[in-house]
Chains A and B, each alone.
Chain A
Amino acid sequence: MRITKTLALTILSAMVLIGAERPKDPSEILPKSDDKIFVVERENSALAVIDNNMFTNEIKGLHNFNHAVVKFRDNDGYVITRDGYVIKFDPIKEKKLKEYKTSKSAIGFIVGDNYVAVANYDNKTVEILDRDLNHIQTIKTGSRNVGIKEYRDYLVFACMDSDEIWVMQDEHSDGKKPWFVLYKKIEKAGEVPFDAMIDKNLYVVGFFNSKNVGVLDLDTMKYKRVPLKMGKKERILKVPHFGFWSISGDYFFIPAVGNKKVFVFDHDFRLVKSIDVEGNPVFTALSPDKKWLAVTFSGEKFPVVQIVDAKKLEVVRRLEFPGMILHVRWSPNHPYLYFSVNDKDMVQAYRVSDPDPKKWWLNLEWQIPRPSGIFVFNKKSH
């Protein structure tokens, strides 16, 4: 077991305080957790493993980890890298199993029942692999591809360079090996799509250069543009992310591009409110109980996170960190909110059990080199 210097010193201090006669095992002191947390070490080609609230291991040799993304399905872990690899790993044994290079630069992926689909920037394809990373199909789009999602037997993504949305259908949906054919193409969807989210049948895509979001109903294949009331576009230092985590039972929360706002829409895509926030938002992450929205920012406001009451739609707490926040993640099992403080080499966990967010407090901290994405494998549900 690897114990960080900080943690070890803390345990020694705790022993002095409580007059312990024998050294305490860290697992006796730290709160128990079903979360196994995998943290992208952005500059180290490694995944840090936090198990039972202890930094216990690193899975190394995972290629360029700038903007690496991790997903879990069943007992399998997958990660894509900036230099185009998709890697399968065992989250239980914490071991790399296999890798396959899909492109020179990958941006997003999904893991279906019987396939992995990787959306690539550079070589302008979507690659379909089986769950063991054997190649099945190359979909050539002639564009960088973003916002890849699945719905029933559809595979949906947006083409950043051609402003299109492609809906592919698996024509082997009864068989083991998928084969996707073009089912519907939305042309001139909006200028420079950059990411998308999905809620049941609604595929919602954001645009970098158009003042609207696009909403494609995957049941009817009807497409509509929803205007966004934007102010003057400010300089953008980081492209915002959309995500499934910012859809509540009542609302869609959408980070504005180049404006200090989070837009709130109802499920018919009527604007409910635009919430003024402190910076240009990057992530809008909704808590598992859908009560709170954590909003991160770019530029000067990288160290700030604001908490929005997702019912009252107002900012209720401001957190300021000693460095840049590159990612946040709500624990699915425990009252914790995790933060990657990238340039201070730490991941912090706030205890968020109190119904008043003003009373949330810094509870745990791990020294992890250059952390970015935080991904939680639920040991209990697997």
Chain B
Amino acid sequence: MIVAGALAMLPVAGVCADDGEKLFKKYCWGCHHQTAEAFGPSFSTIASKRTKEEIVAQIVDPKSTSKVFGYKRSSMPSFSDLDPEELDALADYIMKFKDKR
């Protein structure tokens, strides 16, 4: 017995079409949370400490920026393959969490 295979899905409440959120779910959410410390720092922590430009630099070249920022070590991989629009959308999304706890 297959229960329910062919039926249409119910609409999903609260799904945001925002590109930044989509990119977050594609690339970031395995390690970062918006407001809570996880494997990586929360977006609220990042947004409170960094400018948008610094955030873009960290996404593209974390090895270099982590030295500039004075981190002891960095586990973050580079996302240099993201295009400028994607980086802009993602950085905007991260900045939204400034001062949110």
Contacts and interface: CB of A to CB of B under 8 A. Distances in A.
B12 A369 contact: yes
For chain B, which range describes its interface: under 10, 10 to 19, 20 to 34, or 35 or more residues? 20 to 34
A236 B73 contact: no
Interface string A361-382: 1111101011000000000000
A238 B3 contact: no
Contacts, number: 87
A7 B10 CA distance: 12
B56 to A, nearest CB: 17
A363 B27 CA distance: 32
A346 B4 CA distance: 11
A369 B15 CA distance: 11
Interface string B72-98: 010101110000000000000000000
B1 interface: yes
Contacts of A217: none
A318 interface: no
Describe A's contact surface by its main secondary structure: loop
A239 B39 contact: yes
Contact of B2 (A29, A67, A209, A363): A363
Given A236-B30, A345-B9, A209 B4 contact: no
Interface string B1-18: 111110101101110000
B38 to A, nearest CB: 7
Interface in A82-120: 82-84, 104-105, 107
Interface in B36-55: 36-39
Given A105-B38, A209-B73, A367-B10, A82 B33 contact: yes
Contacts of A192: 73, 75
B4 A365 contact: yes
A10 interface: yes
Nearest to A81: B36
B3 A10 contact: yes
A144 B30 CA distance: 17
Interface in A315-363: 344-346, 361-363
A362 B27 CA distance: 30
A178 to B, nearest CB: 27
B38 A67 contact: yes
B97 to A, nearest CB: 14
A6 B38 contact: no
Given A121-B37, A362-B2, A6 B31 contact: no
Given A9-B7, A344-B9, A66 B73 contact: no
Contacts of A154: none
Contact of B30 (A7, A104, A298, A346): A298
Interface in A205-252: 208-209, 235-239
Nearest to A344: B9
Contacts of B7: 6, 9-10
A66 B31 CA distance: 12
- Most-contacted residue by chain B among A5, A9, A121 (CB, 10 A): A121
B10 to A, nearest CB: 6
A208 B40 CA distance: 12
Contact of B75 (A7, A9, A67, A208): A208
A191 interface: yes
A38 interface: no
Nearest to A160: B39
Given A5-B10, A64-B35, A83-B36, 16 more contacts: A9-B4, A30-B3, A66-B36, A82-B36, A82-B38, A104-B37, A105-B38, A236-B77, A237-B26, A345-B10, A363-B3, A364-B1, A365-B5, A367-B4, A367-B9, A369-B13
